[in-house]
Structure 1
Amino acid sequence: MPATDDASDWFSRETVGRDITRIWEPYVHAYFRSNIFHVRGRDIDLVIDAGMGLVPLRPMLNLPGTKPVAAVATHIHVDHVGGLNEFETRAGHREEAAFFADMADEHTLAHLFRAQPEPVRRSPDGAWSPRSFQVRPAPLTQILEEGDKIETGDRSLRVLHFPGHSPGSIGLLDEGHGEFFAGDAVYRGRLIDDLPGSDVQAYRKTMQQLLQIEFSRAYCGHGEPIDQNELRSIARAYLDSTS
Protein backbone atom coordinates (compact mmCIF):
# COMPACT_ATOMS: atom_id res chain seq x y z
CA MET A 1 0.00 0.00 0.00
CA PRO A 2 1.82 3.17 -1.17
CA ALA A 3 1.86 6.27 1.01
CA THR A 4 0.86 9.74 -0.09
CA ASP A 5 3.80 11.94 -1.05
CA ASP A 6 1.92 15.13 -0.23
CA ALA A 7 -0.86 15.44 2.35
CA SER A 8 -2.71 17.87 0.09
CA ASP A 9 -3.18 14.99 -2.36
CA TRP A 10 -5.30 13.15 0.18
CA PHE A 11 -8.40 15.29 -0.44
CA SER A 12 -10.42 16.08 -3.55
CA ARG A 13 -12.69 19.10 -3.75
CA GLU A 14 -15.20 20.87 -5.95
CA THR A 15 -17.38 23.96 -5.73
CA VAL A 16 -20.99 22.80 -5.51
CA GLY A 17 -22.85 26.00 -4.61
CA ARG A 18 -22.43 29.64 -3.75
CA ASP A 19 -19.63 29.68 -1.17
CA ILE A 20 -19.96 25.91 -0.69
CA THR A 21 -17.11 23.47 -1.31
CA ARG A 22 -17.53 19.70 -1.23
CA ILE A 23 -14.44 17.83 -0.01
CA TRP A 24 -13.89 14.07 0.10
CA GLU A 25 -11.14 11.49 0.59
CA PRO A 26 -10.77 9.49 -2.65
CA TYR A 27 -8.36 6.90 -1.22
CA VAL A 28 -10.69 5.85 1.60
CA HIS A 29 -12.80 2.70 1.21
CA ALA A 30 -15.98 3.61 -0.67
CA TYR A 31 -18.22 2.69 2.29
CA PHE A 32 -16.44 5.29 4.45
CA ARG A 33 -15.80 7.92 1.76
CA SER A 34 -18.02 10.69 3.09
CA ASN A 35 -18.49 14.33 2.16
CA ILE A 36 -17.16 17.32 4.06
CA PHE A 37 -18.78 20.67 3.28
CA HIS A 38 -17.07 24.00 3.82
CA VAL A 39 -19.63 26.80 3.87
CA ARG A 40 -18.09 30.25 3.77
CA GLY A 41 -20.25 32.72 5.67
CA ARG A 42 -20.02 36.46 6.07
CA ASP A 43 -19.26 36.29 9.79
CA ILE A 44 -18.64 32.60 10.48
CA ASP A 45 -17.45 29.70 8.33
CA LEU A 46 -19.05 26.29 8.80
CA VAL A 47 -17.44 22.90 8.34
CA ILE A 48 -20.18 20.29 8.08
CA ASP A 49 -18.72 16.86 8.95
CA ALA A 50 -15.01 16.19 9.20
CA GLY A 51 -14.08 13.01 7.34
CA MET A 52 -11.91 10.21 8.69
CA GLY A 53 -9.16 12.26 10.32
CA LEU A 54 -6.38 10.27 8.60
CA VAL A 55 -4.76 13.49 7.35
CA PRO A 56 -5.26 16.91 8.99
CA LEU A 57 -8.30 18.58 7.47
CA ARG A 58 -8.14 22.13 8.75
CA PRO A 59 -4.95 23.15 6.83
CA MET A 60 -6.62 22.11 3.57
CA LEU A 61 -9.58 24.47 4.00
CA ASN A 62 -7.69 27.75 3.53
CA LEU A 63 -9.68 29.18 6.43
CA PRO A 64 -9.46 32.90 7.12
CA GLY A 65 -7.19 33.48 10.09
CA THR A 66 -9.46 35.88 11.95
CA LYS A 67 -12.95 34.61 11.13
CA PRO A 68 -14.59 32.16 13.58
CA VAL A 69 -15.11 28.61 12.35
CA ALA A 70 -17.70 26.15 13.64
CA ALA A 71 -17.69 22.43 12.88
CA VAL A 72 -21.01 20.58 12.86
CA ALA A 73 -21.22 16.80 12.94
CA THR A 74 -24.33 15.40 11.29
CA HIS A 75 -23.86 12.25 13.38
CA ILE A 76 -21.30 10.27 15.40
CA HIS A 77 -20.06 7.74 12.81
CA VAL A 78 -16.34 7.50 12.14
CA ASP A 79 -16.43 8.79 8.56
CA HIS A 80 -17.99 12.07 9.71
CA VAL A 81 -16.11 12.88 12.92
CA GLY A 82 -12.48 11.90 12.36
CA GLY A 83 -11.19 15.46 12.07
CA LEU A 84 -13.67 17.10 14.42
CA ASN A 85 -11.06 17.56 17.15
CA GLU A 86 -9.21 20.07 14.92
CA PHE A 87 -11.89 22.70 15.51
CA GLU A 88 -12.47 24.66 18.71
CA THR A 89 -16.22 25.03 18.17
CA ARG A 90 -17.91 21.66 17.71
CA ALA A 91 -21.66 21.01 17.49
CA GLY A 92 -23.79 17.88 17.34
CA HIS A 93 -27.20 16.61 18.37
CA ARG A 94 -28.11 16.03 22.01
CA GLU A 95 -29.01 12.39 21.38
CA GLU A 96 -25.35 11.56 20.68
CA ALA A 97 -23.65 14.40 22.58
CA ALA A 98 -22.04 12.22 25.27
CA PHE A 99 -20.33 10.03 22.69
CA PHE A 100 -18.05 12.75 21.29
CA ALA A 101 -16.07 12.94 24.55
CA ASP A 102 -14.47 9.52 24.11
CA MET A 103 -15.30 8.47 20.52
CA ALA A 104 -15.65 4.84 21.57
CA ASP A 105 -15.87 2.23 18.82
CA GLU A 106 -19.33 1.18 19.94
CA HIS A 107 -20.62 4.59 18.83
CA THR A 108 -18.27 5.68 16.03
CA LEU A 109 -18.11 2.14 14.56
CA ALA A 110 -14.42 2.70 13.84
CA HIS A 111 -13.82 -1.03 14.29
CA LEU A 112 -15.77 -1.65 11.07
CA PHE A 113 -13.26 0.53 9.23
CA ARG A 114 -10.26 -1.22 10.78
CA ALA A 115 -11.74 -4.60 9.84
CA GLN A 116 -11.83 -3.86 6.12
CA PRO A 117 -9.33 -5.91 4.06
CA GLU A 118 -8.29 -2.68 2.34
CA PRO A 119 -9.57 0.32 4.36
CA VAL A 120 -7.58 2.72 2.19
CA ARG A 121 -6.15 2.36 -1.31
CA ARG A 122 -3.21 4.53 -0.39
CA SER A 123 -1.69 5.03 3.03
CA PRO A 124 -1.95 8.57 4.47
CA ASP A 125 1.67 8.30 5.58
CA GLY A 126 4.41 5.70 5.80
CA ALA A 127 3.82 4.90 9.46
CA TRP A 128 0.04 4.52 9.28
CA SER A 129 -1.60 1.22 10.22
CA PRO A 130 -5.32 0.48 10.34
CA ARG A 131 -4.78 -1.56 13.50
CA SER A 132 -3.73 1.54 15.43
CA PHE A 133 -6.40 3.84 14.02
CA GLN A 134 -8.53 5.57 16.66
CA VAL A 135 -10.91 8.53 16.45
CA ARG A 136 -9.62 11.39 18.57
CA PRO A 137 -12.04 12.63 21.28
CA ALA A 138 -13.80 15.89 20.43
CA PRO A 139 -16.25 16.89 23.18
CA LEU A 140 -19.02 19.08 21.88
CA THR A 141 -19.00 22.76 22.75
CA GLN A 142 -22.56 23.23 21.47
CA ILE A 143 -25.44 20.77 21.77
CA LEU A 144 -28.08 21.02 19.07
CA GLU A 145 -31.80 20.34 19.20
CA GLU A 146 -34.54 20.16 16.58
CA GLY A 147 -35.36 23.69 15.42
CA ASP A 148 -32.12 25.35 16.55
CA LYS A 149 -30.60 27.86 14.16
CA ILE A 150 -26.98 28.13 13.07
CA GLU A 151 -26.18 31.61 11.80
CA THR A 152 -23.27 32.58 9.56
CA GLY A 153 -24.24 36.22 9.03
CA ASP A 154 -25.65 35.66 5.56
CA ARG A 155 -27.21 32.22 6.10
CA SER A 156 -29.58 30.81 8.67
CA LEU A 157 -29.56 27.00 8.87
CA ARG A 158 -32.29 25.22 10.79
CA VAL A 159 -31.39 21.99 12.60
CA LEU A 160 -33.63 19.02 11.76
CA HIS A 161 -33.42 15.76 13.71
CA PHE A 162 -33.42 12.71 11.41
CA PRO A 163 -33.04 9.53 13.50
CA GLY A 164 -32.91 6.16 11.81
CA HIS A 165 -29.42 5.82 10.37
CA SER A 166 -28.20 6.76 13.84
CA PRO A 167 -30.04 8.13 16.89
CA GLY A 168 -28.63 11.65 16.62
CA SER A 169 -28.51 12.15 12.86
CA ILE A 170 -29.32 15.69 11.79
CA GLY A 171 -29.69 17.81 8.68
CA LEU A 172 -29.31 21.55 8.21
CA LEU A 173 -31.85 23.44 6.10
CA ASP A 174 -31.03 26.85 4.64
CA GLU A 175 -34.51 27.93 3.61
CA GLY A 176 -33.35 31.33 2.39
CA HIS A 177 -31.10 29.80 -0.27
CA GLY A 178 -33.05 26.58 -0.86
CA GLU A 179 -30.10 24.44 0.25
CA PHE A 180 -30.25 21.35 2.43
CA PHE A 181 -27.34 19.56 4.10
CA ALA A 182 -28.79 16.08 4.58
CA GLY A 183 -25.98 14.17 6.30
CA ASP A 184 -26.58 10.41 6.06
CA ALA A 185 -30.35 10.72 6.27
CA VAL A 186 -30.54 10.37 2.49
CA TYR A 187 -28.20 9.93 -0.48
CA ARG A 188 -28.00 7.95 -3.71
CA GLY A 189 -27.61 4.21 -3.28
CA ARG A 190 -28.74 1.83 -0.56
CA LEU A 191 -29.61 3.62 2.66
CA ILE A 192 -27.87 2.01 5.64
CA ASP A 193 -30.33 1.07 8.37
CA ASP A 194 -28.76 -2.07 9.85
CA LEU A 195 -25.90 -0.64 11.91
CA PRO A 196 -25.76 -0.70 15.71
CA GLY A 197 -28.02 2.18 16.75
CA SER A 198 -30.02 2.17 13.51
CA ASP A 199 -33.81 2.02 13.75
CA VAL A 200 -35.94 1.22 10.70
CA GLN A 201 -39.16 2.58 12.17
CA ALA A 202 -37.48 5.85 13.12
CA TYR A 203 -35.96 5.97 9.64
CA ARG A 204 -39.41 5.59 8.10
CA LYS A 205 -40.61 8.63 10.07
CA THR A 206 -37.54 10.53 8.85
CA MET A 207 -38.43 9.63 5.25
CA GLN A 208 -41.94 10.94 5.78
CA GLN A 209 -40.47 14.15 7.16
CA LEU A 210 -38.12 14.45 4.18
CA LEU A 211 -41.09 14.30 1.81
CA GLN A 212 -42.36 17.55 3.33
CA ILE A 213 -39.16 19.61 3.08
CA GLU A 214 -38.93 22.27 0.38
CA PHE A 215 -35.52 23.01 -1.12
CA SER A 216 -33.69 23.22 -4.44
CA ARG A 217 -30.48 21.30 -3.81
CA ALA A 218 -29.47 18.71 -1.21
CA TYR A 219 -25.87 18.11 -0.20
CA CYS A 220 -25.71 14.54 1.07
CA GLY A 221 -23.28 12.81 3.40
CA HIS A 222 -22.08 10.61 0.54
CA GLY A 223 -21.98 11.11 -3.22
CA GLU A 224 -23.22 13.89 -5.43
CA PRO A 225 -25.77 16.63 -4.65
CA ILE A 226 -29.36 15.79 -5.56
CA ASP A 227 -32.50 17.83 -6.17
CA GLN A 228 -35.83 17.72 -4.38
CA ASN A 229 -37.45 15.34 -6.88
CA GLU A 230 -34.65 12.79 -6.58
CA LEU A 231 -34.64 13.02 -2.80
CA ARG A 232 -38.37 12.43 -2.63
CA SER A 233 -38.02 9.48 -4.99
CA ILE A 234 -35.39 7.94 -2.69
CA ALA A 235 -37.60 8.53 0.36
CA ARG A 236 -40.65 6.95 -1.27
CA ALA A 237 -38.61 3.95 -2.40
CA TYR A 238 -37.39 3.41 1.15
CA LEU A 239 -40.90 3.61 2.53
CA ASP A 240 -42.11 1.11 -0.07
CA SER A 241 -39.23 -1.28 0.63
CA THR A 242 -39.79 -1.29 4.40
CA SER A 243 -43.58 -1.34 4.51
Structure 2
Amino acid sequence: MTERTNWFCAEQLTDTIRRIWEPHVHRFFRANLFHVIGKDVDLIVDFGTGLAPLRPFLNIEIGKPVIALATHVHADHIGSFHEFEHRLGHAAEADGFAGMEDAVTLAHLFRQLSKGVEQKPAPSFEQDDYAILPAPLGRVLVENDTVDIGGPSYRVLHLPGHSPGSIGLLDEASGIFFSGDAIYDGTLVDDLPGCDKSAYLATMRRLRDLDISVAYGGHGAPMSRERMSTIAKAYLDAST
Protein backbone atom coordinates (compact mmCIF):
# COMPACT_ATOMS: atom_id res chain seq x y z
CA MET A 1 0.00 0.00 0.00
CA THR A 2 1.33 3.44 -0.99
CA GLU A 3 0.73 6.50 1.14
CA ARG A 4 0.62 9.83 -0.69
CA THR A 5 0.53 13.53 0.06
CA ASN A 6 0.94 16.46 -2.30
CA TRP A 7 4.72 15.97 -2.18
CA PHE A 8 5.76 12.65 -0.65
CA CYS A 9 4.98 9.00 -1.29
CA ALA A 10 5.73 6.13 1.09
CA GLU A 11 5.50 2.36 1.15
CA GLN A 12 5.87 -0.08 4.03
CA LEU A 13 8.79 -2.43 3.35
CA THR A 14 8.65 -4.33 6.65
CA ASP A 15 6.78 -3.93 9.92
CA THR A 16 9.36 -1.36 11.00
CA ILE A 17 10.84 0.09 7.79
CA ARG A 18 9.15 2.56 5.48
CA ARG A 19 10.57 3.90 2.21
CA ILE A 20 9.76 7.49 1.28
CA TRP A 21 10.38 9.38 -1.95
CA GLU A 22 9.50 12.61 -3.77
CA PRO A 23 7.65 11.60 -6.96
CA HIS A 24 7.57 15.09 -8.47
CA VAL A 25 11.34 15.63 -8.32
CA HIS A 26 13.46 15.02 -11.43
CA ARG A 27 14.51 11.37 -11.54
CA PHE A 28 18.20 12.24 -11.11
CA PHE A 29 17.39 13.77 -7.71
CA ARG A 30 14.56 11.43 -6.67
CA ALA A 31 16.20 9.55 -3.80
CA ASN A 32 15.02 6.93 -1.33
CA LEU A 33 14.58 7.97 2.29
CA PHE A 34 13.92 5.47 5.08
CA HIS A 35 12.10 5.66 8.40
CA VAL A 36 13.07 2.83 10.73
CA ILE A 37 11.01 2.35 13.88
CA GLY A 38 13.15 1.19 16.79
CA LYS A 39 12.08 0.15 20.24
CA ASP A 40 13.81 3.10 21.89
CA VAL A 41 14.60 5.48 19.03
CA ASP A 42 13.43 6.05 15.48
CA LEU A 43 16.05 6.26 12.74
CA ILE A 44 15.70 8.41 9.63
CA VAL A 45 18.13 7.56 6.83
CA ASP A 46 18.49 10.40 4.31
CA PHE A 47 16.27 13.41 3.79
CA GLY A 48 15.44 14.19 0.16
CA THR A 49 15.80 17.56 -1.49
CA GLY A 50 14.24 19.65 1.27
CA LEU A 51 11.74 21.23 -1.13
CA ALA A 52 8.92 20.43 1.32
CA PRO A 53 9.13 19.77 5.08
CA LEU A 54 9.84 16.11 5.72
CA ARG A 55 9.40 15.68 9.45
CA PRO A 56 5.63 16.35 9.56
CA PHE A 57 5.11 13.56 7.00
CA LEU A 58 6.83 10.96 9.17
CA ASN A 59 4.22 10.77 11.95
CA ILE A 60 6.86 10.11 14.59
CA GLU A 61 5.47 9.19 17.99
CA ILE A 62 5.27 12.30 20.15
CA GLY A 63 8.23 12.51 22.51
CA LYS A 64 10.13 9.61 20.94
CA PRO A 65 13.83 10.31 20.28
CA VAL A 66 14.92 10.46 16.65
CA ILE A 67 18.32 9.85 15.09
CA ALA A 68 18.87 11.48 11.70
CA LEU A 69 21.63 9.84 9.67
CA ALA A 70 22.88 10.99 6.28
CA THR A 71 24.55 8.41 4.06
CA HIS A 72 26.40 11.21 2.26
CA VAL A 73 26.32 14.94 1.63
CA HIS A 74 24.69 15.21 -1.83
CA ALA A 75 21.67 17.48 -2.26
CA ASP A 76 19.11 14.77 -3.01
CA HIS A 77 19.85 13.12 0.34
CA ILE A 78 20.28 15.97 2.84
CA GLY A 79 17.80 18.72 1.96
CA SER A 80 15.75 18.25 5.17
CA PHE A 81 18.65 17.16 7.38
CA HIS A 82 18.42 20.46 9.29
CA GLU A 83 14.88 19.60 10.51
CA PHE A 84 16.30 17.09 13.00
CA GLU A 85 18.20 17.75 16.19
CA HIS A 86 20.38 14.62 16.49
CA ARG A 87 22.35 14.42 13.23
CA LEU A 88 24.93 11.77 12.27
CA GLY A 89 27.23 11.53 9.28
CA HIS A 90 30.75 10.48 8.32
CA ALA A 91 33.81 12.40 9.47
CA ALA A 92 35.04 12.91 5.89
CA GLU A 93 32.02 15.11 5.15
CA ALA A 94 31.51 16.81 8.53
CA ASP A 95 32.63 20.18 7.18
CA GLY A 96 30.30 19.75 4.22
CA PHE A 97 27.25 19.22 6.43
CA ALA A 98 28.19 22.27 8.49
CA GLY A 99 28.49 24.56 5.47
CA MET A 100 26.29 22.93 2.80
CA GLU A 101 28.23 24.64 0.03
CA ASP A 102 27.43 23.79 -3.59
CA ALA A 103 30.90 22.36 -4.10
CA VAL A 104 30.05 19.43 -1.82
CA THR A 105 26.23 19.18 -1.96
CA LEU A 106 26.10 19.68 -5.76
CA ALA A 107 22.91 21.71 -5.28
CA HIS A 108 23.88 23.83 -8.28
CA LEU A 109 23.31 20.81 -10.53
CA PHE A 110 19.68 20.79 -9.43
CA ARG A 111 19.32 24.51 -10.10
CA GLN A 112 20.72 23.95 -13.60
CA LEU A 113 18.20 21.25 -14.59
CA SER A 114 15.78 22.33 -17.30
CA LYS A 115 12.88 20.99 -15.23
CA GLY A 116 13.83 20.05 -11.68
CA VAL A 117 10.26 19.37 -10.57
CA GLU A 118 7.10 18.25 -12.33
CA GLN A 119 4.99 20.39 -10.03
CA LYS A 120 5.87 23.09 -7.52
CA PRO A 121 6.12 22.13 -3.84
CA ALA A 122 4.71 25.57 -3.01
CA PRO A 123 3.36 28.46 -5.14
CA SER A 124 6.37 30.62 -4.29
CA PHE A 125 8.93 27.98 -5.33
CA GLU A 126 11.65 29.12 -7.73
CA GLN A 127 14.19 26.54 -8.80
CA ASP A 128 16.89 29.18 -9.24
CA ASP A 129 16.67 29.93 -5.50
CA TYR A 130 17.24 26.36 -4.36
CA ALA A 131 19.65 26.14 -1.42
CA ILE A 132 20.26 23.77 1.48
CA LEU A 133 20.40 24.92 5.08
CA PRO A 134 23.49 24.02 7.12
CA ALA A 135 23.12 20.99 9.39
CA PRO A 136 26.23 20.47 11.56
CA LEU A 137 26.70 16.96 12.85
CA GLY A 138 26.07 16.17 16.48
CA ARG A 139 27.88 12.85 16.18
CA VAL A 140 30.66 12.13 13.71
CA LEU A 141 30.84 8.55 12.47
CA VAL A 142 33.72 6.38 11.30
CA GLU A 143 34.10 2.77 10.19
CA ASN A 144 32.69 0.19 12.63
CA ASP A 145 30.80 2.69 14.79
CA THR A 146 27.40 1.43 15.89
CA VAL A 147 23.99 3.08 15.76
CA ASP A 148 21.65 1.34 18.21
CA ILE A 149 17.93 2.14 18.14
CA GLY A 150 16.77 -0.58 20.52
CA GLY A 151 16.39 -3.87 18.70
CA PRO A 152 18.26 -3.18 15.46
CA SER A 153 21.87 -2.15 15.96
CA TYR A 154 23.63 -0.99 12.81
CA ARG A 155 27.34 -1.15 12.07
CA VAL A 156 28.72 1.76 10.05
CA LEU A 157 30.59 0.81 6.88
CA HIS A 158 32.67 3.51 5.22
CA LEU A 159 32.09 3.07 1.47
CA PRO A 160 33.86 5.91 -0.35
CA GLY A 161 33.91 6.42 -4.09
CA HIS A 162 30.60 8.06 -4.94
CA SER A 163 31.57 10.64 -2.33
CA PRO A 164 34.37 10.78 0.26
CA GLY A 165 32.08 10.18 3.23
CA SER A 166 29.59 7.69 1.79
CA ILE A 167 28.50 5.17 4.39
CA GLY A 168 26.25 2.14 4.72
CA LEU A 169 24.46 0.71 7.75
CA LEU A 170 24.42 -3.04 8.34
CA ASP A 171 22.27 -4.84 10.89
CA GLU A 172 24.34 -8.00 11.19
CA ALA A 173 21.57 -9.86 13.04
CA SER A 174 19.00 -9.54 10.25
CA GLY A 175 21.27 -8.80 7.29
CA ILE A 176 19.37 -5.59 6.49
CA PHE A 177 21.69 -3.11 4.80
CA PHE A 178 21.15 0.55 3.97
CA SER A 179 23.66 1.30 1.23
CA GLY A 180 22.99 4.92 0.30
CA ASP A 181 24.48 5.75 -3.09
CA ALA A 182 27.46 3.45 -2.64
CA ILE A 183 25.37 0.90 -4.53
CA TYR A 184 21.80 0.75 -5.78
CA ASP A 185 19.85 -0.93 -8.56
CA GLY A 186 20.45 1.58 -11.33
CA THR A 187 23.22 3.39 -13.17
CA LEU A 188 25.96 4.10 -10.64
CA VAL A 189 27.57 7.54 -10.67
CA ASP A 190 31.34 7.93 -10.36
CA ASP A 191 32.05 11.07 -12.38
CA LEU A 192 30.71 13.87 -10.18
CA PRO A 193 32.96 16.32 -8.32
CA GLY A 194 34.25 14.48 -5.25
CA CYS A 195 33.97 11.02 -6.78
CA ASP A 196 37.03 8.77 -6.59
CA LYS A 197 37.04 5.83 -8.98
CA SER A 198 39.92 4.02 -7.30
CA ALA A 199 38.15 4.20 -3.94
CA TYR A 200 34.94 3.08 -5.61
CA LEU A 201 36.66 -0.04 -6.93
CA ALA A 202 37.69 -0.99 -3.39
CA THR A 203 34.14 -0.35 -2.19
CA MET A 204 32.72 -2.53 -4.95
CA ARG A 205 35.04 -5.38 -4.07
CA ARG A 206 33.81 -5.12 -0.49
CA LEU A 207 30.14 -4.99 -1.49
CA ARG A 208 30.50 -7.86 -3.94
CA ASP A 209 31.27 -10.18 -1.02
CA LEU A 210 29.21 -8.59 1.74
CA ASP A 211 26.87 -10.97 3.56
CA ILE A 212 23.41 -9.37 3.62
CA SER A 213 19.78 -10.45 3.33
CA VAL A 214 18.49 -7.30 1.60
CA ALA A 215 19.98 -3.96 0.61
CA TYR A 216 17.99 -0.75 0.53
CA GLY A 217 19.80 1.67 -1.78
CA GLY A 218 19.66 5.41 -2.14
CA HIS A 219 17.78 4.95 -5.42
CA GLY A 220 15.93 2.09 -7.09
CA ALA A 221 14.37 -1.08 -5.75
CA PRO A 222 15.61 -3.25 -2.87
CA MET A 223 18.39 -5.67 -3.76
CA SER A 224 18.96 -9.26 -2.74
CA ARG A 225 22.48 -10.32 -1.84
CA GLU A 226 22.80 -11.87 -5.30
CA ARG A 227 21.57 -8.76 -7.06
CA MET A 228 23.89 -6.47 -5.12
CA SER A 229 26.83 -8.75 -5.85
CA THR A 230 25.94 -8.80 -9.55
CA ILE A 231 25.85 -4.98 -9.70
CA ALA A 232 29.21 -4.75 -7.93
CA LYS A 233 30.76 -7.37 -10.23
CA ALA A 234 29.46 -5.53 -13.31
CA TYR A 235 31.08 -2.29 -12.13
CA LEU A 236 34.37 -4.07 -11.47
CA ASP A 237 34.29 -5.85 -14.82
CA ALA A 238 33.59 -2.60 -16.66
CA SER A 239 36.60 -1.00 -14.98
CA THR A 240 39.14 -3.62 -16.02
Instruction: Please give the range of the TM-score, normalised by the shorter of the 2 chains.
Output: over 0.9
Q: Which of 136, 140, 143 does residue 140 from structure 2 map onto?
A: 143
Q: Which amino acid letter does the alignment assign opposite residue 76 of structure 2?
A: D
CA deviation profile, 1:168-197 (whole Å, cap 9, x unmatched): 000000111110000001111211000000
Q: Distance in 1 between matches of 2:174 and 2:38?
A: 13
Q: Which of 159, 164, 179 does residue 162 from structure 1 map onto?
A: 159
TM superposition score normalised by structure 1: 0.96
- Say if 1:192 and 1:112 are closer, same or farther in 2 by CA, change over 3 A: same
After superposition, where does 1:57-136 map in structure 2 within 5 Å?
A: 57-136=54-133
Q: Kindly indicate whether residue 187 of structure 2 is the aligned counterpart of residue 190 of structure 1.
A: yes
1:18: Cα distance to partner? 3.0
Q: Kindly indicate whether residue 198 of structure 2 is the aligned counterpart of residue 201 of structure 1.
A: yes
Query: Is residue 72–residue 166 contact of structure 2 (8 Å, CA) maintained in 1?
Result: yes
Q: Kindly indicate whether residue 45 of structure 2 is the aligned counterpart of residue 48 of structure 1.
A: yes
CA-based RMSD: 0.9
Paired residue secondary structure (2:5):
helix
Q: Distance in 1 between matches of 2:60 and 2:135?
A: 20
Q: Which of 148, 152, 156 does residue 149 from structure 2 map onto?
A: 152
List runs of 5+ in structure 2 lacking aligned partners.
none
Q: Distance in 2 between matches of 1:17 and 1:215?
A: 16
Query: Is residue 33–residue 48 contact of structure 2 (8 Å, CA) maintained in 1?
Result: yes
CA deviation profile, 1:126-159 (whole Å, cap 9, x unmatched): 0000111100110010100000000011111000
1:16: Cα distance to partner? 1.0
TM superposition score normalised by structure 2: 0.97
User: 1:14 corresponds to which residue?
Assistant: 11
User: 1:3 corresponds to which residue?
Assistant: none
Paired residue secondary structure (2:13):
strand
Q: Which amino acid letter does the alignment assign opposite residue 153 of structure 2?
A: S
Paired residue secondary structure (1:233):
helix
Query: Is residue 82–residue 135 contact of structure 2 (8 Å, CA) maintained in 1?
Result: yes
Moved over 3 A (4+): none
Q: Distance in 1 between matches of 2:195 and 2:207?
A: 17
Query: Is residue 46–residue 69 contact of structure 2 (8 Å, CA) maintained in 1?
Result: yes
List runs of 5+ in structure 1 lacking aligned partners.
1-6
Q: Kindly indicate whether residue 236 of structure 2 is the aligned counterpart of residue 242 of structure 1.
A: no
1:213: Cα distance to partner? 1.2
1:66: Cα distance to partner? 1.2
Paired residue secondary structure (1:160):
strand
1:103: Cα distance to partner? 0.3
Q: Distance in 2 between matches of 1:135 and 1:198?
A: 20
1:27: Cα distance to partner? 0.2
Paired residue secondary structure (2:132):
coil
CA deviation profile, 1:194-230 (whole Å, cap 9, x unmatched): 0000011100000011122111110000011110000
Q: Which amino acid letter does the alignment assign opposite residue 140 of structure 2?
A: I
CA deviation profile, 1:88-112 (whole Å, cap 9, x unmatched): 0000000001111110000000000
Q: Percent identity?
A: 51
Q: Distance in 2 between matches of 1:165 and 1:97?
A: 16
